[in-house]
Chain A
Amino acid sequence: MALAEDTNPMQGFKWVGSRPIRPDGFDKVTGRAKFGADLVLPGMLTGAVLRSPHAHAEIVSIDTSDAEAMPGVKSVVTGADFPEPYGKPAEQDVQRNVMAREKALYEGHVIAAVAALTREQARAALGAIKVTYKVLPHVMNVTEAMADSAVVIHDNMITKNVDPAPEAPSNVASRTVFDGGELDKGFAEADVVVEREFTTKPVHQGYIEPHAAVADTTPDGRSTVWCSSQGHFAMRTYTSNVLGWDASRLKVIPAEIGGGFGGKTVIYLEPLAVRLSQKAGRPVRIVMDRDEVFRASGPTSGASLRVKIGAKNDGTITAADVWMAFEAGAFAGSPVGAASMTALAPYKLENFKIEGFDVVVNKPKVAAYRAPGAPISSFGVESVLDEVATKVGMDPIDFRMHNAVEQGDTATYGPKFPVIGFKETLQAIKDHPNYTAELGPNQGRGVASGFWFNAGMNSTATVNINDDGTATVVTGSPDIGGSRASMALMAAEELGIDVVSIKPVVADTETVGFNDVTGGSRVTLATGAAVVEACRIIVADLKARAAKGWDIEADQVEWVDGRAQPIDGSQPAVSLAELAKNWGRTGGPISATYSHNARGVGAAFSTQVCDLEVDPDTGRVTVLRYLTAQDAGRAIHPSYVEGQLQGGVAQGIGWALNEEYIHNDDGVMENPGFLDYRIPVASDLPMIDTVIVEVPNPAHPYGVRGVGEVGIVPPLAAVANAVAAAADRRITDLPLSPVRILDAILNSED
């Protein structure tokens, strides 16, 4: 078949920028790939988890004696089976989130767990555990939680970053502020000022694979854990912390991971499986049901925002004032800090203030979700910017271009930008035919831009040359969306051998050096750079070995297309395969490891345009066209870069139009399934058009920028701006469900 149109001419590279079949693909289209729930061990038990039915309750007593006597039950664990919470506050929060202690802090909070011979026996035993609760009042959103009369969830929570520090505890964990210039002066200079309030609901990452863990704990107090996660080294760190064990007692083997989007950078089941297995003396597998995934694993924050922006008639933004409060769930740690840093980052601004609050509520502890926080703040800011652009009579792309940051401009979060490609994304949208496609009645077009940092962090790669000149590239970065292919392509480029001669491997915690999680858009950049550096060590080694054979200095040898050759051409070139065959006489096997805390993280920008139609009779939105332009620095495997762009957009459209956590008055989630928590399906979406902009990141060997996350930042506002255009009224509360849109249409026609 024809491959997708090549948006990335190869720019002097042989492999980088090409689109080979991913090496792990064959296992994934034939059902062979082993995901978290697929592992079976001899004698393996099935675990099940008892969860709090209350949003906020004191746990008065737990009696597991009847459950332990049930048929087939082999072990039961409660909070008493884990160390008393210890260590840093954030560590204690994880310990308490994995297993409730004095209080259940949200519906779904773990109370106990059981392992039995069968799934049915384990579930029956959960019903026999007697828990006495004293139900407490609950708070479910930032408005309730910040009220003076609110019940305080943690009686030791004193708001951080408030001067002077408050004396009384509250549900506000911290405050964060970024500012510059003088707001009053800025607004005084403005010809146009728009101020709006917004709300968003918690939304779930929505990975299709539920959390799963298998543990096999042996009598010597060691355990092997198989789990589906974004980082098995991080799982080892967190799990050993919760258990109070040395990390060396845990071996964590990465299963294939069925989607994460940030939600699998944290632990839930692993410590339970380890302890159940230890007490039973047999391996234990626990797999969450879908409703448990919704009730107890990481959504991202619901939020309230107030955004006020002023501009001159020529389109220059003169001032911006942003106030945000984010739900953190039951423990501190919403992404309001990142939301604050990204909110206004795409624009040159002298006078601004961004104030954010991290607020605990009786909902599951939020987990990272793709560019955590940025979509929420961007929704408010880019919605208001849309109105400002309209009021000053400017095209929304021209308006953004007029204010856009470029290299050397100071970001609202402080530092100056390095080489960035924001303006290029704006231009790419403007140049695309979608931007001038004709719109019919009830149709509207919306534009929005977004920024995300990307991460570097720690990575290790080992490259082993095989005795026939092929290679194995070993990393510890789980492959969520094609990263094995990227690693192989970069290694092929460096070594000069065919990409199919390279086997990329994701190894367990005992087989390769430490790697941080696959997250923060960091793997192609950071783990990729480690692969490149390890390959360069190998190439230097190969050149030295070839030089020995020619009795010349290594610096007189060059590496061209997989072969060593003397620079002066005095000898015929010698291939990697020949050098490998003779390694015994030139110094032994050829292998290199490179570890680093990656430098040179490149900032990422995306601009998007959405065309949609609003049915005025039902409020239903149909997305007609969608275009995203994103700076990838350089696309290593363009198909999977496009995939990241398209996937982020689809999640963002779901966030904008359909998705929300719905809780009843008791604080119980009413839609914990895919029928009622409706993520976009194939018939909801059009093709998602992509433009890969390539402004290379000068700090990376191939110019890579992370591409995984920023694509989800603009869609909320792009969709909302398009709905505002199509329906001729602005709705500021997400999701833009048919009910909400119809309500706005009917009520403003009164």
Chain B
Amino acid sequence: MTKIHVTSEINGDEVEFLTEPNVSLLNALRDEVGLTGVKEGCGTGDCGACSVLLNDELNAACLVFAPEADGAEILTVEGLSDGDHLHPLQQCFLEGAALQCGICTPGFLVAAKALLDKNPDPTETEIRYALAGNLCRCTGYDKIIRAVQDAAAQMQEA
């Protein structure tokens, strides 16, 4: 099968990669670009572990074909921090113990960023619905919701 040449801006860098037309953006990011912070929990768009921002919109990378990302801007968890300066969401997840095993954490961080980009001061209910596409089996969500609330408050102050 002939490979397709894809050029995207991934986490601020122009990145080129080759992919077959039937490969998901999730697998291309993991296997071709080496961004294994994007996790696969289901491959069917139900768990949110592969959440990425595609042109600032929250997407499940497993439901996007890699060639669709040609010319797009992509943000993954690897692009969230600024050098060694963590994003407030990352810092609040750490301080609030909002992760246990950590497999869902990259997806939650990206989904929470998508929420705060659009709604900097969400209510608890708004957070819960915005993150309803991301599954966590460890925490019961309590500390995740609180971490997002804390990050929103910090970013409002900043």
Contacts and interface: CB of A to CB of B under 8 A. Distances in A.
Direct A–B contact in the complex, CB atoms closer than 8 angstroms: yes
B40 A210 contact: yes
Contacts of A2: 150
Contact of A688 (B135, B142, B153): B142
Contacts of A289: 43
B46 interface: yes
A37 interface: yes
Contact of B137 (A3, A40, A206): A206
A671 to B, nearest CB: 11
Nearest to B44: A673
Interface string A623-665: 0000000000000010110110011011100000000000000
B135 A642 contact: no
Given A673-B46, A674-B47, A32 B101 contact: no
Contacts of A683: 125, 128-129, 131-132
Interface string B2-39: 00000000000000000010100001001100111111
Interface string B59-94: 000000000000000001110110000100011111
Contacts, number: 201
A642 B141 contact: no
Given A208-B136, A682-B145, A482 B100 contact: yes
A31 interface: yes
Given A29-B90, A687-B142, A688-B142, A643 B44 contact: no
Interface size class, chain A: 35 or more
Contacts of A481: 100-101, 138
B139 A646 contact: yes
A187 B76 CA distance: 64
B95 A208 contact: no
Contacts of A685: 128, 140-142
B95 A257 contact: no
Contacts of A13: none
Contact of B90 (A30, A120, A205, A682): A30
Interface size class, chain B: 35 or more
A647 B100 contact: yes
Given A209-B101, A289-B43, A31 B38 contact: yes
Interface stretch (A20-28, A695-703, A742-750): A20-28
B38 A682 contact: no
Interface string A31-68: 11111011010000000000000000000000000000
Contacts of A261: 137
- What DSSP secondary structure best describes chain B's contact surface? loop
A681 B100 CA distance: 16
Contact of A21 (B36, B94, B101, B129): B94
Contacts of A287: 40
A480 interface: yes
A3 B30 CA distance: 34
B77 A31 contact: yes
Given A30-B77, A209-B39, A651 B101 contact: no
- Of A33, A120, A208, A688, chain B has the most CB atoms within 10 Å of the CB of A208
Contacts of B138: 259, 480-481, 643, 647
Contact of B135 (A29, A646, A679): A679
Contact of B49 (A28, A208, A642, A688): A208
B139 A679 contact: no
A29 B99 contact: yes
A291 to B, nearest CB: 9
Given A257-B101, A480-B100, A682-B145, A30 B137 contact: no
B36 A34 contact: yes
B2 to A, nearest CB: 14
A639 B97 contact: yes
Contacts of B90: 29-30
A684 B145 CA distance: 13
- Of B104, B139, B141, chain A has the most CB atoms within 10 Å of the CB of B141
A639 B143 contact: yes
A642 B131 CA distance: 21
A718 to B, nearest CB: 14
B140 A674 contact: no
A674 B107 CA distance: 16
B135 A681 contact: yes
Contacts of B34: 40
Contact of A31 (B31, B37, B97, B143): B37
B122 interface: no
Contacts of A21: 94-95
Contacts of A120: 20, 22
B111 to A, nearest CB: 10
B43 A31 contact: no
B154 interface: yes
Interface of A: 1-4, 19, 21-22, 24-26, 28-35, 37-38, 40, 119-120, 205-210, 256-261, 287, 289-290, 480-482, 637, 639-640, 642-643, 646-647, 649-651, 673-675, 679-685, 687-688
Interface of B: 20, 22, 27, 30-31, 34-44, 46-47, 49, 76-78, 80-81, 86, 90-97, 99-106, 109, 124-125, 127-129, 131-146, 150, 153-154
29 contacts: A1-B96, A1-B153, A3-B96, A4-B96, A25-B102, A28-B99, A28-B102, A31-B36, A31-B37, A31-B77, A33-B102, A34-B36, A40-B31, A256-B102, A480-B100, A637-B97, A643-B143, A646-B143, A647-B137, A647-B139, A673-B42, A675-B44, A675-B46, A679-B137, A681-B134, A682-B134, A687-B142, A687-B145, A687-B146
